[in-house]
Amino acid sequence: MAETRPLLVRLVLISAASSILSGYDQGVIAGAIGRVKADLHLTHVQEELFVGVLNLVAAFGCLIAGAVADTLGRRWTICLANWLFIVGSIFLSTANSFGLLLVGRVVMGLGVGIALVVAPVFTAECAPTRLRGFLVTLSDFATNLGIVGGYAVGLAFYHTNAGWRYMFALGIVPSVCVAAFVWALPDSPRWLVMCGEKDAALAAVRRIGAVKDAEAEVEQILRIQEETLEGSAGWRGLFNPADAPTRRMLVAGLGVAFFSQACGTEAVVYYIPDIMTGLGLDEYHALVATLGAGGCKLLFLVIAAFLFDRVGRRSMLFVSGTGMALSFVLLSTSHALNSSALTVIGVCAVMSSFSLGFSPLVYVIGTEVFPTRVRSVAMAFSLFLTRLIAGIIASLFLSLQQAMGHVALWAVFATVAAIAVVFAYFCVPETKGLSLEEVASQFGDSSEKSRRSHASSATKPLSTWNCLCQLAYGDSALPLVADSKL
């Protein structure tokens, strides 16, 4: 019987909990906004700002998260993000004016941005190499699980007087738990090495138990850190790339990040109840439909995790973009026909199509195509870009809806999704089954091969099922499951 690794499992769960809370703060607004607007008499513009400001501030949080995590350490930064969730929840649940609501959303947005960056980084830095990609994707799943949880809470408190206050207050409990329990974990070995604490890093690797030879792991961390520092180009390298292959890599990764939000999916996440009630559904059944759409989003995210390495990243972008384009056409048609049934189907189709590609592949493609010398700043800017675009669209959605009408607005989003497919065809190569060196050569960069040689795993990637088994039981679990092409 394989021996479990409870500390590594707890580390992953606590890190994922921060992502869940980040998603909850995004999802709960869908059920709360109608009651908040009625109770505090928000204007049309105030409603948009209340919804959109979280992502705008989260964009800033993504940019500063790396510097904060390098200064305070990963554990302290996760703790900080959760305390921001707590403070923001207190402001929101007790607010009696638009100003206090806005303060709560700003504080919470900062926590969301920091958690979006640091939670997957903490997990990736502590996990075994073969599990790293799977666990980073798990953070995206946890965020979406939190969004669905927010929808469910909105439905649960629908009949409660001032229920929106309880919705926001409920986020305090898990935040306190995460902020407390994170101190039972060791800090990231890579951060400890960066701080010159080699002995502490060695002790952390041994406690986590993710590798058999702790000393060899620490030496490898030291070597990779030295190589990364020597080749790092920083923000200047991001905005002024030295060669054409690097520019093509950045265009591919940042383009996927841009189109993941430019298609308007984040506005759908926030405004589903408004979309539904606009066609005659009562508020309660609109929230039921919202929860169903969130469930579809989560289900297809799980399906996508099993398809990426079978079908390929590029192919899944085609499927995702085409599905979103057709779904938005369906939404446009449903509003032209004034059909609530078609609208429900269209919203579920948009959410499902988004989860099949553009939602999770922002993380996956970014880590694979960004050059080593600018990868850290490129990933930070990629997340900044997603939150910025999402915040802008969420802040303008109702105004655009009034100015253009539903039919025209959905047609615009369908066009953007179609352009995203064309972009993926011409600018994003297939990376399925390729080492990091081979991915670099797809863009014509032969020099990147030598930089990436130590970052590439010498072992075959694990299937999703094998990842789950190895996370719990370690290497001894691998013979228990069949090998897979995944």
Alpha helix segments (H runs only) across 405-484? 406-427, 436-442, 447-452, 464-473
Question: What is each CA distance from 346 to 400, 416, 439, in whole angstroms?
Answer: 19, 16, 36
- Give pTM, 2 decimals: 0.79
CA 201-130-132 angle, 5° bins: 65
Give pLDDT tens digits along the chain (486 positions): 344 467 777 777 777 787 788 788 778 888 888 889 889 998 888 988 998 898 899 999 988 887 888 888 888 888 899 899 999 999 999 999 999 999 999 999 999 888 888 877 777 677 666 665 566 667 778 888 988 998 999 888 888 888 899 999 998 988 888 888 887 777 777 777 777 766 767 776 676 665 555 556 556 656 655 555 555 556 676 777 767 777 888 888 899 999 999 998 888 888 888 887 777 777 888 888 888 888 998 999 888 878 877 888 889 999 999 999 999 999 999 988 888 888 889 999 999 999 998 888 887 787 777 776 676 678 788 888 999 999 899 888 888 988 998 899 999 999 999 999 999 999 888 877 666 567 767 776 555 444 444 444 434 444 444 444 444 444 444 433 333 333
Q: How far is CA 27 from the centre of its chain?
A: 13
Apex CA 290: angle with CA 25 and CA 160, to 5°?
70
Which residues contact residue 417 at a Cβ distance below 8 angstroms, ignoring those fewer than 6 apart? 259, 263, 321, 322, 324, 325, 328
455/256 Cα distance (integer angstroms) = 23
CATH number for 237-448: choose from 3.40.50.2300, 3.50.50.60, 1.20.1250.20, 3.40.640.10: 1.20.1250.20
DSSP state of 188: P
- The residues, any chain, with a CB within 8 Å of residue 212's CB and separated by 6 or more, are 475
**Residue count (the chain):** 486
Give the CA-trace dihedral at 416, 420, 423, 424, to 10 degrees: -170
Residues 6+ apart with CB under 8 A from 275: 268, 343, 347, 406
Which is nearest to 313 in space by CA: 304, 324, 322?
Answer: 304
